[in-house]
Amino acid sequence: MPAVSKGDGMRGLAVFISDIRNCKSKEAEIKRINKELANIRSKFKGDKALDGYSKKKYVCKLLFIFLLGHDIDFGHMEAVNLLSSNKYTEKQIGYLFISVLVNSNSELIRLINNAIKNDLSSRNPTFMCLALHCIANVGSREMAEAFAGEIPRILVAGDTMDSVKQSAALCLLRLYKTSPDLVLMGEWTSRVVHLLNDQHMGVVTAAISLITCLSQKNPDEFKTCVSLAVSRLSRIVSSASTDLQDYTYYFVPAPWLSCKLLRLLQCYPPPEDGAVKGRLVECLETILNKAQEPPKSKKVQHSNAKNAILFEAISLIIHYDSEPNLLVRACNQLGQFLQHRETNLRYLALESMCTLASSEFSHEAVKTHIETVINALKTERDVSVRQRAADLLYAMCDRSNAKQIVAEMLSYLETADYSIREEMVLKVAILAEKYAVDYSWYVDTILNLIRIAGDYVSEEVWYRVIQIVINRDDVQGYAAKTVFEALQAPACHENMVKVGGYILGEFGNLIAGDPRSSPLVQFNLLHSKFHLCSVPTRALLLSAYIKFINLFPETKATIQEVLRSDSQIRNSDVELQQRAVEYLKLSSIASTDVLATVLEEMPPFPERESSILAKLKKKKGPGAVPVTELEDGKREGGELNGGGDRGPDSSAMATSNASTPSPSADLLGLRSAAPVSAAPTSTGSLLVDVFSESGSGAPSAGVNDDGFLRDLEQPTETSDTLLVEAPGDSDSAPPSTASEDPAPPLPEADELLNKFVCKNNGVLFENQLLQIGIKSEYRQNLGRMYLFYGNKTSVQFASFSTTVSCPGELQSHILPLLPLNVQTKPVEPLVEGGAQVQQVLNIECITDFSEAPLLNIKFRYGGALQNLTLKLPVTINKFFQPTEMASHDFFQRWKQLSQPQQEAQKIFKANHGMDTEVLKAKLLGLGTALLENVDPNPENYVCAGVIQTKSQQVGCLLRLEPNAQAQMYRLTLRSSKDTVSKRLCDLLAEQF
């Protein structure tokens, strides 16, 4: 090997690099770099033509500067010039610069393509490799168009040099990934597969990456690769350690190629051909055997290379999941690694064993290592290894060892790293529920969980424990007793107070016989925590108090006293104040019977998939099931019934079958979208439910003067209703409602629509009969919307039907193409009183649009036809994908969109407060990326996003300039489509 001098001939470069190294501060470095950039710029711009050597030197300097983290916005042309040089070193630097710095949409692509074309036809293998390599790195559409036809030919041609074949394989892989439609493998398939037989190991190594990718996409066409891969693997595995010469790495024959062959086989099920399968099993056995042989070298490289193959072989065995013998051997091998002194091996063994635990053949074998794994959880010094141990314990858990594992996980939680606590909590909660034989154990476990890691116990977990306690009456007394005891602790977590409030409110009577937990003691205990709690918990406690009044009349006076105190009835928080007032009134006016009906015990929850499991699925990690498509959509949860701000205990108002408030909607895993055809409904105000359920006799005199209780009146009694759908004689309804044609949209339809521009969930519409809740999720050009129609009356709706139509404007397009494709199924024609029905709409955005689709709802209420039309809140911004970009890019694109019709601008007065956080939340809700540090004026907001429609993508930029003094905004939208700019501008002007 020649001695290599510093900088190898490019003295200027060496000097520059030395200067940079000698810089004492970051400022000095930046100064030196700026000086050099100025120098290079002047050289490139100068009159004197630069020779190849100088160009190479300067381009090299630019590369170095780029590496240091500085943007390079010139020199591309000089680099392209270097491509046509005949000197290898110059050409190489040119290609390197382009590979590293040119992105796929550069305007230079055409010039680069020309250079590549020349090099590909040069028949000089080193030039060809450089060119192929460049295509593989840039991989743009234009390159694919220019070369996708030629590369397969180069790859399989008999006279192509090996090194060129290697580059061609990887190049084709890149083109296939970026433009699969242009890479037509058809006639080449079999010859590409046969590259697995190539004499040259390097070619096989390169080709296998290509074949693996193609096999994943078209398994059937590439099926023949299985037998070829097996025979190749077999030859490698059985070769002596010196056979493969330079492809042997520390006495291990071709470790990288072996791993890749084993990976390729994991794309397929076990081979059907007996001979092939036999040969493969033999290979796998040999690999397992070799692990037991004494090492051929003491070097760690030897054992690492060997183990790399071993782990890959075990992955394949687990993937096949059909050879009990091999599975058990794999498990034993991993068991050995669990105690190995190399941390890396312990980590990989834990990870691998986790997948092994789910196989029925090896589950028992995995379980025998429980003590080692528990020990790892306790003693490993690396959090990622401990995390793997926790995952494995979770995976190996079953009824036989659940108590031990849960206990160990709980004790680990006390010291666990903060980063993994939440996931641990979820896992403990799931295991405790899944394997609970004895529910008192379950209750203990969850309460312990709250005690140990209360901050990490998410709502799903404590909702779930309540759900289970309510559904199982054998555990209710125990739960009440335990939670009562837990609350004795001087400092207990707020989540404990929530569970306590709920459970004692429901089942406190079960322990009230004991004088130590008499009703008043229970109440005083709960109330002693009240002032330390947040608003939602206090709200929950207030509900528990009203339940106490029902359960224990003797506490009524004390509790009324509390409710009446100024700190409750005049609380500055509206929710708390309202509750205090309503509960106080309820307790004083309602008869015992009415109160008992209103506050009847919670009915059992329908069995659904545990929402905790759903939550865990969203977290990554082994044992997690892939997330279904929409589950991780833009927005989560979202209060469905507009009652979201009522705190998690609206369900506390457990009327016999009313009220499915938002939290329990979550609790029931509504996200999984099981149709809730006859699920109970909730309406905005608690008291509407209360009284409509408790019979029409309820609204008694003396109530009407109370402002809060105005809603109480039965719909029929409201003579001054503003709502056209008011029930009554049909002649009192406007003419349109009598007709069977869909009514024109409501006057307030636009206003309702505007409320949903920046949010996806909420109550779209509500009158005295009907409430319509919406929950929606969007991804790219697709959306899914759940509509919940709640019957607020106690009378059945008949002939209930809904239709969604796209307005006329859309149909007047020249092409008979609707911009939105909305699909849904009809809803059940009968909606019982108090029930809620759900409808799912699947929405596809074909092209941009301005008019929202219309939703028409018709039904009969007491004989009168109700007919109303709303605008569905599907607006163009729902299809935004946020785009992050730097200031420089933003303004460059801003300038590119400078044609007058591309811009829409409005100046308008602020309709709402100009609070920064509120504005930000709205802009984020819009779906765009909110770009920080882009606008020179920090008061302004700029956003960027791409609207995804099926036919095209429309990039949009937004700038909102508030003027706090004048309480005005200037809003500017620029996009590549004039209709989009205008529509967005119109929509947004209503939002601020």
Rounded to a whole number of angstroms, the CA Rg of the chain reads 35
Interface with another protein in residues 4-33 (CB under 8 A): 4, 6-9, 13-14, 17, 21
Report whether 650 contacts 682 (CB < 8 A): yes
Q: Which of residues 363-392 bind another protein (CB under 8 A)?
A: 381-382, 384-385, 387
> Does 347 help bind another protein (rule: CB under 8 A)?
yes
Angle at which helices 274-292 and 300-320 pack, to 10 degrees? 140
Residue 79 CB neighbours (<10 A):
25
Q: Under rule CB under 8 A, which residues in 254-273 are in contact with another protein?
A: 254-257, 259-260, 263
Binders in 431-490 for another protein, by CB under 8 A: none
Binding to another protein in span 712-731, by CB under 8 A = none
Q: Which is nearer to another protein, 249 or 463 (CB)?
A: 249
Q: Are 231 and 198 contacting, i.e. CB atoms less than 8 angstroms apart?
A: no
Judged by beta carbon, residue 68 or residue 907, the one nearer another protein is 68
Residues 889-918 that bind another protein (CB under 8 A): none
Is 202 a binding residue for another protein by CB under 8 A? The answer is yes
CB 953 → another protein: shortest distance, Å?
18
Rounded Cα distance between 492 and 485, Å, is 11
Residue 92 in contact with another protein, rule: CB under 8 A: yes
Instruction: Please pick, from the candidates 157, 625, 627, 886, the single residue that binds another protein as defined by CB under 8 A.
Output: 886
Q: How far is the CB of 136 from another protein (least distance, A)?
A: 4
Q: Which among 346-354, 537-545, 648-656, 920-928 is the span making contact with another protein, rule CB under 8 A?
A: 346-354
174 binds another protein (CB under 8 A): yes
Residue 58 makes contact with another protein by CB under 8 A: no
Q: Which stretch binds another protein (CB under 8 A): 159-167, 706-714, 729-737, 973-981?
A: 159-167
Instruction: Give the residue with the Cβ less far from another protein, 246 or 720.
Output: 246
Give the Cα-Cα-Cα angle 94, 98, 101 (nearest 5 degrees): 130
Measured from the CB atom, the residue of 8 and 809 that comes closer to another protein is: 8
Which window, 135-143, 282-290, 585-593, 867-875, contacts another protein (CB under 8 A)? 135-143
| 330, 318 Cβ separation under 8 angstroms | yes
d(CA 825, CA 842): 10
Nearer to another protein, 141 or 970 (CB): 141
Footprint (CB under 8 A) of another protein, residues 231-250: 245-247, 249
Sequence-distant contacts of 63-66: CB under 8 A, at least 24 apart: 63/93, 63/96, 63/97, 63/100, 63/101, 64/13, 64/16, 64/17, 64/20, 65/33, 65/36, 65/37, 66/100, 66/101
Q: How far apart are CA 80 and CA 109, in angstroms?
A: 10
For another protein, the binding residues in 582-611 under the rule CB under 8 A are none
Residues 558 to 577: which contact another protein by CB under 8 A? none
**Separation of alpha carbons 258 and 238, rounded Å:** 12
| Of 164-172, 488-496, 514-522, 640-648: span binding another protein (CB under 8 A) | 164-172
By beta-carbon proximity to another protein, the closer residue of 255 and 647 is 255
Distance of CA 184 to the CA centre of its chain: 34
Q: How far is the CB of 255 from another protein (least distance, A)?
A: 6
On the 0-12 / 13-18 / 19+ scale of CB atoms within 10 A, 53 is middle
Which of 81, 89, 190, 716 touches another protein by CB under 8 A?
A: 89
> Least distance to another protein from the beta carbon of 774, Å?
31
Q: Which two tokens stand for residue 100?
A: 């590293």
Q: Which residues contact 102 (CB under 8 A, 6 or more apart)?
A: 76, 108, 109, 112, 138
Q: Hunting for tokens 């086989």 — which residue is that?
A: 265
Instruction: Give min distance, CB of 307 to another protein, in A.
Output: 6
620 is a contact residue toward another protein (CB under 8 A): yes
| Residue in 695, 607, 709, 708 with CA at minimum distance from that of residue 658 | 695
d(CA 749, CA 741): 18
Q: Which stretch binds another protein (CB under 8 A): 92-100, 269-277, 369-377, 452-460?
A: 92-100
Binding mask 295-334 for another protein (x = CB under 8 A): ------x--xx-xx--xx----------------------
How far apart are alpha carbons 273 and 441 in whole angstroms?
52
**Which residues make Cβ contacts (< 8 Å) with residue 167, sequence separation at least 6?**
128, 129, 132, 133, 136, 206
Cβ closest to another protein, residue 13 vs residue 406: 13
Q: Which is nearer to another protein, 175 or 874 (CB)?
A: 175
Please report whether residue 163 would count as binding another protein according to CB under 8 A: yes
Structure tokens at 791: 């019957």
Name which of 301 and 811 has its Cβ closer to another protein: 301
